[in-house]
Amino acid sequence: MNLIELAQIYTDLVKLEREIPEQEHHAKDQINVLRTKYHELLMAKMKQAGVPFSDRFDAANKAFELIRKEPAHS
């Protein structure tokens, strides 16, 4: 997977997690596990691609920036 694909999956998981009601603990936990996995993959790919980030929060913000900059998402 390339950086944009990983960023898209990660950002989709973040958005999905926000939409799940708080009382749906099991679903939220499952999405959280996937989100964490893809966040780690995303950070590794960002390092490999030379995309600088200071911490995991900065990496998350940059993922959203990458997706906003994609022509299909403008």
Place of tokens 């596990």: 33
What number of residues does the chain have?
Answer: 74
| Mutual angle of helices 56-69 and 25-49, in 10-degree steps | 80
pTM of the model: 0.89
What pLDDT digit, counting tens, does each position of 5-61 carry? 999 999 999 999 999 999 999 999 999 999 999 999 999 999 999 999 999 999 999
